[in-house]
């Protein structure tokens, strides 16, 4: 490895997939090598997340990032100059210390995560390796099982339906590329179905079809039918994955499903989701309860955690201490890993490691506001996360990530082992899909 001392940092404003300002950071090393990364942005956010620094005021709905960029070009650049880019932990600790707040609100999570990821890119480039290989070292890697949205909802579709993500996973596929092929067919079939029903109204924030449904459950029915229409078997070849994002419609144990015209308490919501688990080929559920409903999470996981992956997102906010607490209380059996929730690459890795130590499923995830930045594709492979969630199968800020994993899979050739069913150890076929041909168990 060559000398990788940081010579300069430059922050610039670029634009995300919702047409909003965001932070890009470019790090240049003394050896002339550079690395670049862009901060993503969430819409449905946990209260425990790192906070982005936005200007407020009238311009761009108050979302401009000139203050965050001033932090990158001023204090952050001064603090990191002459530091070793290979020392990611030291860089990230310096960023956290420089900010000095528990949620990075002074410098901004957007400034910090873009800097942290840009340093990582520069270090990998300096080592002469692709990022995924730099992260994995000499160890073996597995291609992640993709989790791909077919219908958008919740905060990503003006709350047209309450549930946020209706996704598919293809664990019986033989490779990452085959999983994308199957998903492409499901996505096409879902579009055809919407067109036939006169419900095709464009796409939501992450590229899934706009959810012009009369109830939340109708989306599940449509998704199951779209899978069947391709000739693939629901629950055998292709499973359904839901992000309920319940913090968006529930608090203090009361959940209002606006589309269904009902308010449920925790026990009733758990019952409703249980009925969905019985009736549809659901392999994974994210944030089934609101972030403030820890007893609900425990109850849900106690009841259904032996047959379905149960992911904490807003509930765990990519925080290692929260993951450890959830592991000892049995509140979930999987954790979503979003680098910008944690704020730095090192903290995201710590949360992932805590999840692995607990035997959890681990899913590296994009945000609803994204760009051409493909860092998370490399993290999912290089960290052996097992699963990758990026949004839908349209819009280039999503496809850029899927396509990057295809390139990695091609580079690995025969060594590209696909995670498949091994990524979903908690799933057990329910009555409707028993007899499942689980090829990769």
In angstroms, the CA 27 to CA 318 distance is 25
Q: How far is CA 50 from the centre of its chain?
A: 15
Binding range to ligand 2PG, per CB under 6 A, among 40-48, 82-90, 251-259, 415-423:
40-48
Phi and psi at 117, nearest 5°, equal: -70, -35
Of 164 and 384, CB closest to ligand 2PG: 164
Q: What is the H or E stretch that residue 7 is in?
A: strand 6-15
> Running DSSP on this structure, what letter comes out for residue 233?
P
Does residue 24 belong to the site contacting ligand 2PG (CB under 6 A)? Answer: no
User: Which of the listed partners (Mg ion, ligand 2PG, none) does 316 bind, with a CB threshold of 5 to 8 Å by partner kind?
Assistant: none
Half-sphere exposure of 346 (CA within 13 A, CB side): 16
Determine the Cα–Cα distance for residues 257 and 260; give it in Å rounded to an integer.
Answer: 5
Binding mask 280-319 for ligand 2PG (x = CB under 6 A): ---------------------------------x------
Active site residues: 206, 338
Phi (first) and psi of residue 268, to 5 degrees: -70, -35
Q: How far is the CB of 11 from ligand 2PG (least distance, A)?
A: 22
* Span near ligand 2PG by CB under 6 A; candidates 39-47, 61-69, 194-202, 254-262: 39-47
- CB 322 within 8 Å of CB 48: yes
Nearer to ligand 2PG, 10 or 395 (CB): 395
∠ CA 325-327-329 to the nearest 5 degrees? Answer: 70
Count helices and strands in the chain by DSSP H and E runs: 14, 16
Partner interacting with residue 42 (select from Mg ion, ligand 2PG, none; CB below 5-8 Å by kind): ligand 2PG
Max alpha carbon distance in the chain (Å)? 62
Q: Could you list the residues that contact Mg ion (CB under 5 A)?
A: 243, 286, 313
Q: Site residues for ligand 2PG, window 334-393 (CB under 6 A)? A: 365, 367-368
Q: Which is nearer to Mg ion, 99 or 286 (CB)?
A: 286
Binding to ligand 2PG (CB under 6 A): which residues in 219-278? 243, 245
Name the residues that contact ligand 2PG, by CB under 6 A: 42-45, 155, 164-165, 206, 243, 245, 313, 365, 367-368
């Amino acid at each position: 490895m060559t000398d990788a001392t940081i010579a300069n940092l430059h922050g610039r404003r670029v634009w995300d997939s919702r047409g909003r300002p965001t932070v890009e950071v470019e790090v240049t090393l003394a050896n002339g090598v550079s690395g670049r990364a862009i901060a993503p942005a969430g819409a449905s956010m946990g209260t425990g997340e790192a906070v982005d620094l936005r200007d407020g005021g009238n311009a761009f709905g108050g979302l401009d990032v000139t203050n965050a960029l001033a932090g990158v070009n001023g204090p952050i650049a001064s603090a990191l100059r002459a530091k070793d880019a290979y020392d990611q932990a030291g860089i990230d600790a310096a960023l956290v210390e420089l900010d000095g707040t528990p949620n990075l609100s002074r410098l901004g999570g957007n400034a910090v995560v873009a800097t942290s990821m840009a340093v990582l890119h520069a270090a990998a480039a300096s080592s002469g390796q692709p990022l995924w290989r730099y992260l994995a070292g000499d160890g073996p890697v597995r291609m992640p099982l993709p989790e791909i949205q077919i219908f958008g909802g919740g905060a990503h579709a003006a709350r047209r339906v309450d549930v946020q993500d209706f996704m598919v996973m293809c664990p019986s596929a033989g490779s990452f590329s085959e999983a994308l092929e199957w998903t492409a067919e499901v996505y096409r079939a879902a579009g055809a179905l919407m067109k036939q029903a006169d419900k095709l109204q464009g796409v939501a924030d992450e590229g899934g079809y706009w959810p012009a449904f009369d109830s939340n459950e109708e989306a599940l029915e449509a998704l199951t039918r779209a899978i069947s229409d391709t000739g693939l078997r629901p629950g055998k070849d292709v499973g359904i994955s839901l992000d309920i994002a319940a913090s968006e419609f529930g608090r203090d144990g009361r959940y209002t499903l606006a589309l269904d015209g009902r308010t449920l308490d925790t026990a009733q919501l758990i019952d409703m989701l249980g009925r969905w688990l019985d009736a549809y080929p659901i392999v994974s559920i994210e944030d089934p309860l609101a972030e403030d409903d820890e007893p609900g999470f425990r109850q849900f996981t106690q009841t259904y955690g032996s047959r379905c992956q149960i992911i904490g997102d807003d509930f765990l906010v990519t925080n290692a201490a929260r993951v450890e607490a959830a592991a000892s209380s049995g509140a979930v059996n999987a954790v979503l890993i979003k680098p910008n929730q944690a704020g730095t690459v090192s903290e995201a890795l710590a949360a992932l490691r805590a999840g692995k130590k607990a035997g959890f499923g681990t899913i590296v995830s994009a945000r609803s506001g994204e760009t051409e930045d493909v860092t998370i594709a490399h993290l999912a492979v290089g960290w052996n996360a097992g699963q990758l969630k990026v949004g839908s199968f349209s819009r280039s800020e999503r496809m850029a990530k899927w396509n990057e994993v295809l390139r990695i899979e091609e580079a690995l050739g025969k060594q590209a082992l696909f995670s498949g069913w091994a990524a979903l150890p908690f799933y057990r076929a329910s009555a409707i899909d028993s007899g499942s041909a689980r090829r990769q168990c």
